[in-house]
């Protein structure tokens, strides 16, 4: 099986990655190798974590034996590796990281769930204090490889993307050739939709304190990385929702605790509730927020005259937060494409007697048109068809904002396509979104993939633009003729054919031999060059039949007296190049072929179905 490494990178970070390798991929419980191989950036981690071992002695961190380190073998073919920065606070680790791992395990029973921490300092401290060894990333990846895991899904529990997340992706990438498939899910706050949901979740968690006299202040970590702006964006989302008593600050960046105190001053609050905006409630929550030191949030708010309540609970304890992580894992497992089980009932948008109506048969203009959709979740409130010079585009008003992009093709194709091919929405005056797409024909099924903001996956849709919803005046008088209009018996004929397009130097032999059988027409096209290796007619690829001399193809002909778009691939250049042409068969020139019967039978047999 071809090996793939799928990186779903939307960024976040908290601290610098510090997963260190040991000989043969085994961790050194003394931690000596960590100091030898750590990056200079690890100094930031050391500064922020060095006091945890000392400070936690003032607290009962809980029973370590109640927490599952998830470092077992016998993994099976499929593994989900949940990667966290880590904490040595045992109860918090079990109630947050452990709860996230448990939610993932419940959602994906066919996968073995394992754990890794990126902080070697924490790993070593837990091992020394409690005799429990948690894998670092290197050891966890080696464990997966040694257990012959075929599919590996890595799940970072980071709050946002940044240094550590990107370093984790690189670390996993070094092992990508050890597995048949590797994917990395996104951190918690990877989109505006994530921010919106998290705002609702934390607001619900503190709703009991909403008495008009209490300021609810969440403490994030903060980082010098650009991803720190997620805190300001979170505050914007909270403000937009009218959650006037909720404020966001950070320990080590902006907005600071001083910024928060300044913000809530003179608003009449008498009380303050402090709660961490962190996945786990570890050293920062217990000391920087709820501690008794003179520079802790608790002390600073008390000194400012507020009655302070501290809630030392990590975000991982909230079910809604765990649900978001699970959805991100689901997107990683599925390759960001919804399965049949993910989709609501799919409707058949075809109808009896449906035949494509070419855009060239519609007069230039702007028309209201009805669009049938295969999904009730992709409901098009209204649409306008814009026709000009044989081409058409449609503006579809969705009546909402649930989709981030659409793509002309399938979800699988969209997941592999360059982002430049995604069609972004246009905001309407009422705040809803519209998408503008090209339309090749009416009364024809058009595959379209839509990227859901909430689910963060591509969903396959099928659209049909209904010709019968247009007024008759929209259609040109049809001068073209179908094969059935010619009233010809089955047999061999010839007809004049003209070619347009390209540089104008190429030509085709005219008249061309044609064969009509069972209402279908096939034509033999001979080019003036031997350098064409295939043609594309009506989305069908047709190969060159000539073994010497000029290129020759047998192609289907649906209409006479109208230009038929075709593509011919030439090998005359340094690289093969597709060239667009049009062919037009003249119905008035049709006459019985002068070929002998044997030759006629040969032509009749070519590609007839």
Catalytic residues: 221
- The whole-angstrom separation of Cα 45 and Cα 256 is 19
In sequence order, what are the residues at sequence separation of 6 or more whose Cβ sits closer than 8 angstroms to the Cβ of residue 26?
A: 139, 142
Q: For residue 514, what is the enclosing H or E element?
A: strand 512-517
User: If DSSP codes are grouped into helix, strand and coil, which group holds residue 12?
Assistant: strand
Q: How many residues does the chain have?
A: 609
**Can you read off the two tokens belonging to residue 264?**
């809530």
What angle (nearest 5°) sits at the alpha carbon of residue 59, between those of residues 57 and 65?
90
Taking a C-beta distance cutoff of 8 angstroms, is the pair 224, 253 a contact? yes
Q: Return the structure tokens found at 195.
A: 């921010």
Name the token pair of 597: 């019967």
CA gap 506, 522 in Å, rounded: 21
The alpha carbon dihedral of 541, 545, 547, 549 has a sign of: negative
Tokens read off for 396: 């579809």
Who's near 570: CB < 8 A, 6+ residues apart?
529, 531, 532, 533, 576, 577, 579
Contacts of residue 88, defined as CB under 8 A and 6 or more positions apart, other chains included, come to 52, 53, 56, 61, 122, 125, 126, 129, 282
DSSP letters of 306-329? Answer: -EEEE----GGGSHHHHHHHHHHH
CB 451 within 8 A of CB 403: yes
d(Cα 515, Cα 542) in Å, to the nearest integer? Answer: 17
Positive or negative, the CA dihedral 455, 456, 459, 463 is positive
Residue 92, by phi and psi: left (phi above 0), alpha (psi -120 to 50) or beta?
Answer: alpha
Query: Among residues 248, 185, 186, 191, which one has the least CA distance to residue 215?
Result: 248
The dihedral built from the CA positions of residue 452, 455, 460 and 462, taken in this order, carries a sign that is negative
Beta bridge pairs of residue 554: 524
Q: How far is CA 564 from the centre of its chain?
A: 37
> What residues pair up with 358 in beta bridges, in sequence order?
441
* Radius of gyration of the chain measured on its C-alpha atoms: 33
Query: Judging by beta carbons within 10 Å of its beta carbon (0-12, 13-18, 19+), is residue 348 exposed, middle or buried?
Result: exposed
Return d(Cα 494, Cα 505) in angstroms, integer.
Answer: 23
Give the sign of the dihedral formed by CA 23, CA 26, CA 29, CA 34: positive
Strand partners, 223: none
Joined together, the tokens standing for residue 495 give 């007809």
User: CA-to-CA distance for 384 and 314, rounded, in angstroms?
Assistant: 49
> What is the Cα 464 distance to its own chain's centre?
25
Q: How many CB atoms lie within 10 A of CB 255?
A: 19
């Amino acid at each position: 099986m071809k090996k793939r490494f799928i990186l779903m990178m939307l960024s976040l970070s908290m601290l610098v990655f510090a997963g260190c390798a040991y000989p043969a991929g085994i961790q050194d419980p003394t931690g000596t190798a960590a100091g030898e191989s750590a990056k200079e950036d690890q100094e930031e981690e050391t500064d922020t974590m060095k006091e945890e071992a000392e400070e936690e002695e003032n607290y009962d961190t809980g029973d370590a034996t109640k927490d599952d380190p998830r470092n077992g073998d016998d993994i099976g073919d499929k593994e989900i590796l949940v990667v966290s920065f880590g904490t040595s606070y045992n109860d918090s680790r079990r109630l947050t990281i452990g709860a996230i791992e448990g939610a993932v395990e419940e959602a994906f029973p066919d996968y073995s769930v394992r754990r890794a921490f990126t902080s070697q300092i924490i790993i070593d401290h837990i091992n020394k204090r409690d005799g429990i060894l948690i894998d670092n990333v290197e050891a966890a990846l080696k464990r997966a490889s040694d257990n012959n895991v075929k599919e590996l899904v890595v799940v970072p529990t980071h709050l946002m993307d940044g240094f550590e997340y990107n370093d984790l992706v690189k670390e996993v990438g070094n092992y990508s050739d050890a597995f048949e498939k590797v994917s990395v899910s996104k951190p918690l706050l990877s989109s505006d939709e994530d921010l919106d949901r998290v705002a609702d979740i934390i607001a619900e968690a503190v709703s009991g304190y909403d008495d008009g006299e209490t300021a609810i202040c969440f403490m994030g970590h903060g980082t010098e990385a650009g991803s720190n702006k997620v805190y300001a964006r979170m505050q914007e989302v909270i403000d937009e929702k009218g959650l006037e008593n909720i404020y966001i600050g950070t320990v080590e960046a902006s907005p600071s605790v001083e910024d928060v105190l300044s913000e809530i001053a003179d608003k009449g609050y008498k009380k303050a509730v402090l709660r961490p905006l962190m996945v786990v409630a570890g050293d920062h929550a217990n000391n920087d927020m709820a501690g008794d030191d003179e520079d802790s949030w608790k002390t600073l708010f008390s000194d400012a005259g507020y009655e302070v309540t501290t809630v030392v609970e990590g975000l991982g304890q909230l079910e809604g937060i765990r649900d978001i992580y699970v959805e991100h894992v689901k997107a990683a497992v599925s390759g960001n494409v919804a399965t049949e089980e993910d989709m609501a009932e799919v409707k058949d948008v075809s109808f009896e007697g449906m035949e494509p109506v070419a855009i060239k048969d519609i007069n230039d203009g702007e028309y209201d048109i009805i669009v049938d959709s295969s999904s009730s979740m992709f409901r098009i409130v209204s649409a306008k068809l814009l026709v000009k010079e044989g081409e058409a585009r449609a503006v579809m008003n969705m009546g909402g904002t649930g989709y981030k992009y659409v793509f002309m093709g399938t979800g699988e194709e969209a997941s592999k396509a360059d982002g430049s091919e995604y069609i972004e929405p246009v905001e309407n005056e009422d705040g809803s979104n519209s998408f503008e797409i090209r339309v090749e024909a009416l009364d024809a099924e058009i595959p379209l993939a839509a990227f859901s903001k909430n689910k963060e996956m591509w969903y396959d849709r099928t659209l049909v633009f209904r010709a019968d919803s247009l007024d008759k005046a929209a259609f040109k008088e049809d001068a073209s003729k179908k094969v059935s209009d010619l009233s010809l018996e089955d047999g061999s004929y010839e007809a004049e054919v003209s070619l347009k397009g390209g540089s104008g130097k190429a030509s085709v032999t005219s008249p061309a031999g044609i064969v009509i059988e069972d209402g279908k027409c096939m034509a033999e096209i001979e080019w003036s060059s031997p350098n064409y290796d295939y043609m594309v007619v009506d989305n069908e690829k047709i190969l060159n039949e000539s073994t010497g001399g000029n290129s020759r193809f047998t192609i289907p002909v649906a209409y006479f007296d109208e230009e038929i778009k075709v593509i011919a691939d030439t090998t005359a250049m340094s690289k093969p190049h597709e060239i667009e042409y049009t062919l037009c068969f003249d119905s008035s020139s049709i006459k019985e072929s002068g070929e002998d019967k044997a030759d006629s039978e040969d032509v009749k047999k070519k590609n007839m179905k």
